[in-house]
Structure formats: C-alpha cells, structure tokens
Amino acid sequence: MDQAQENRIAQGLRAGQPEAWAMFYDAFAERVWRATARLLGPAHADIADVVQETFLAAARSARGYDPARGALWFWLWGIARRQLALHLRKQERWQRVTVVASNGQLSRWLDGQDPLPVDTLEAKELSEFVRQTLAALPEDYADVLSAKYLDDVSVEQIAMEERCTETAIRSRLARARQAFREMFVKDRRTQSTQRRHEEHKENQA
C-alpha cells in the first residue's frame, strides 16, 4: 500500500465511510491474523475472537486516529495487542515457564549476537514463553521485535512505516532486546524460586 492510498483510507475511516472500512479490512485482516497467531499459536481457537475484537475496537476509535503518530498498521497492531492482553488476562494465561533452549541460541539472541532461533520455538513450552513475554512487553518494544525477528521486516521498512530514522529503529531494537532479556531472566528466577519452595514443602510433607 502506497502513502497516497493509506491517506485516503485514513481519511475515510475518520469520516466513517463504509468503502474505506472495506479497503482497510482487506488490507490488514490477514496480517492481523498472522501476527496474532504468532503470539497465541497458529492452531489457537481464539485467534478469530481476538481479530474480531481488534477490528471492532478500531471502528470505535477510528475518528481519533492521527496519521502523524504512525502508519495505519502500527495503530491497528497496537489495538490488537491490547485486545490480546485482555484476552490472555481473561483466560488466565499469564503463566511463565522457565525453559531455556539447550543449544543456547535464545540466550545469544537476547544478547544481540544471533537472529531469533525460530527452530527452537518448536518446543511448546519455550514457544509459549516467548509469545507471552513479547505480549507483556511495552507496545513499541514488542512491535519492533515482532516486525524484525518474526515477520522479517527490514529496519528500513520499519523506519518508513513509523516515519522515523533507521538509527532510531536500531536503537529501539537494542532497548527492546534488553527489556526482553531482563524479563526473561526475572521470570526464570521467579519460577526457580517458586519451584524450590514447592519442592521444599513436598519434602516436608
């Protein structure tokens, strides 16, 4: 989608034009579905509910959309992330796991040395951990990590869509990796402490 087409859709959304909504849905529905599936899992039965709630919420807030604050996709994906967070809290799925990839690829990615180890995400527990950790990060961090490492969007393209410099995106990526790493380590320590406490109670029983 070029900038002129996006501007026409944005103007139509703010004006409540049905044809603009049809173009908007056609342009982004599949992308929202794929991105949501990244966090919930591709076979998750609730993906459709989150996508539906995302577009309903977008309809309610469309008149307040400001193109100066970012492209349509980043506005919509911000809404999707909020709907996803609400869904996860409602379903009580904010549990953390403490699995670390045995080959150390995840740790090297967290340090910015390797690309995201997609192959290691085949392990169900690790996959859930990464998805939930991404969902728990601040929106701007999770969005840039998902775009760069899960959707394979170039830094140049992210900068273009967010209307900022590539240097700013690289800086945000570095901060986002650090935030992910800190959350990963913190949750791992918490889980380890809880596990030791539970084992201690079992031994005393």
Please list the pLDDT of the chain residue by residue as tens digits (205 residues).
777 888 888 888 888 888 888 999 999 999 999 888 888 776 667 888 889 899 989 988 888 888 877 788 888 988 998 888 777 766 643 343 333 344 455 656 666 666 555 554 445 556 666 777 777 888 788 888 877 876 678 889 888 878 889 999 999 999 998 888 888 767 656 665 666 666 656 666 5
* Burial class of 193 by CB neighbour count within 10 A (0 to 12, 13 to 18, 19+): exposed
Residues 84 and 114 grouped into a single domain: no
Read off the pTM.
0.50
CATH number at residue 152: 1.10.10.10
Q: Which of 94, 118, 151 is the last residue of a domain?
A: 94
| Amino acid identity, position 187 | D
Domain of 2?
Answer: 1-94
Distance CA 113, CA 74 (A): 27
Per-residue tokens: 56: 């309903």
Residues 108 and 195 grouped into a single domain: yes
106, 117 in Cβ contact below 8 A? yes
Q: Which of 94, 111, 129 is the last residue of a domain?
A: 94
Q: Which of 77, 94, 111 is the last residue of a domain?
A: 94
Transcribe 191-202 into DSSP letters: HHHHHHHHHHHH
Per-residue tokens: 63: 């008149």
Residues 165 and 111 grouped into a single domain: yes
